[in-house]
Structures are given as structure tokens and as C-alpha cells.
Structure 1
């Protein structure tokens, strides 16, 4: 089996290519291009998503950034098995149904999107106003463990770290999440599932892997 090509790039060049790939995607009728930027917290998918905003706007695309961390379940559900249970982190933390209902489905239909749902710090719903995203806009959703959940998207990007790099770059208080990410690799294999993979063991010397 032929392995997908891997091309070392500078961070800026890699972001340029990601933006062009998003820009080239077809748009749902009257809707927006939905892009999942997936990766462990230590891989900083939020930074890659942030880097895409300016480039996409430079291509005359309206952009809305949404973080999956703002669509977690209430603590009473999320932490039912304890605060440091990796299986709970994998299975129970993200409210995937709400993310589809409030963000991904409306974006495809050209309806206003709810940018935030839940404040983890206060453990309360956020009274956020819905945001209009013009037809042809781009919705960027970043966060961990997003792939393999049936979240609808036109493009999936996975920011990948090797097991060693992930362990080194994960702060000690968060080391309990490492088994969840190992399970994710074993059960979902996000590197094979994503349309584009950012190899980010060395953030200043990343590489881009594309599916043939």
C-alpha cells in the first residue's frame, strides 16, 4: 500500500496550503464550508485554526471560529466517573449532538450559528448571541477527539503528534488524558481518516500529509 506523500514546509507555507485547500472546497447550497481542525490539546489545533483565519479572510472568505471546548457537557455528566478518567474524557466530555445541532447543521443550511454553548469555568450555559455566517463562508471548529464521531464537515484536518512528542508536551496535570489519545489512535486512526494531516512534532518544522 502506497503511503500518502509527506512534504516538510515552514509553518507559514503550511498554513497557506491549508487555506488554499479550504478555499477550493465546494460549498453547500446557501451554506458554509465546515472544517474540523482536530488534535490533542498539546498539539495546539487552536493555533493552527487561528492562523487560518487571516489567510482565509485574505481570500475574501468570511470566517467563524468555534472551539469544541465551548461545547462540553455539564460537570454533573462530564465528571460522573471522576475528574481524571480517560475513558470519560474520550466518551463523555464533548456534547457532539449539541455541536451538530447548534453549529454544524445550521452552518450547512445558511442559518445563524451558536458560537458558544457552555462555560466550563462557571459550569453554566453561555448566553451567546447567534452569529450569521454569509453563504460561502468558512466555519472552523477546533478541538480534540473530533473525528470518527459523525460530525459533518467538508474538510477534516488532523494535527498529529507522535506518542513520544505528545507525552513530552502534555503538562503533568493533564497526563491522565494520554490513554484517551492512545485509544483514539487505536480505534479511530485520525491520521488515516483526515483529509489533511499536519505532522507537528516540531512546530517550527511541520510537514503536511495529504490523502491520495
Structure 2
């Protein structure tokens, strides 16, 4: 797994490493409140309790810092996805239980981290490093949940289970991402409830997996 220091100059001493850790944590805290373009480096340093010189001793500016922050944040997000997938595997049995658990698990993890993910998404459109890391994390974490549905393959009636799982998971993610403002359209779910959306998506996914096309 890539280290957050991959996008920063190596520290000359332990104190420098600790200062940079505080800078990364301060940045994540601020990203939960507002977008990265609304945050200044001076503000980050003030919250972290370090000088701006300490920051520029490790990175060249905001773009490089955001790359390092993304690595640290994705380490935690990937672990959260792994733990949630393990929880579902242990507690949900059969397609009727697994599908709602997968839809809710994916959606709630996105919802809890949407404010931070939004900054990565917006910056990723112009920064190839951030964009590639975001796609890689999303693909790997999605796969963890897709495998849970694949384990119920015997119950799926669609003649092409793999295709049905891939298509429905893609639809689930796209709908949740749009609701949460994690796409170019921004949030579209203000007029309806989140829990209602999760229920509808679960019902639609189950119906599709159990559907036998007439063609």
C-alpha cells in the first residue's frame, strides 16, 4: 500500500514526521467541513499547530498535500470497506438479506465520507494522480461488496449472473453518488429521504437479479 509520504519529501527527523501527520489530520478535518479550494494552507497549519515552513519543508503546495492526504484517507476508507464486508458476510445470509445489506453498507460508507471524497473527485478531474487513485480505490472497494452478492449466485435467476451483478452494482453506486453530490451533477436527493432511497435501490436490485428476460 502506498504511503502518504510518497507525495512528500522525506522527513529529516521524527519531529518533522509528527508535524506532517498533524497537517494531514488537520486537512482531513477541514475537508469534512468544506471543499479543498475553500481551505488555505495557513488555516491547515494553524489547526495542526505547525508553521507554514514545516509544511513547505515536506510538500511544494496544496496539490502535493492533497495527494498525500488522499493516500492516508483511502487507507482508512479501504479498511472500513473491508470491515463492513466482513460484517455483512457474517450476519447476512441469502440474497434477500445480502442485497439490502450491500446497498446500505456501500451507501452509508459513501455518505459518511462524502464531504472528503467530493474534494478528491473534483480535483481528480485535473490531477491524474488523484483521479487514478480514486478510481482504483472505488474499484477495489466495490469488488469487496460485489463478491458478497456473487456468493449467492445459486439464487440468481438472471441467465447471466455476472452481468446482472455488475450492472446492478454500477447502478447502485451511480445513484448513491449522484444523491450525495459525488458526480458532476451535484446532489439530487434533497427532496427525498436517504433511507427511502436505500430501500428502493435494494428492491430494484433484487428484482433485477431475480428477473428472467423473455428474449
User: As a proportion of its length, which structure holds more helix?
Assistant: 2
**Could you tell me the TM-score, scaled by structure 2's length?**
0.24
Give the greater-gyration-radius structure (CA): 2
User: As a proportion of its length, which structure holds more strand?
Assistant: 1
**Could you tell me the TM-score, scaled by structure 1's length?**
0.24
Structure with more relative contact order (C-alpha pairs < 8 Å, separation 6 or more): 1
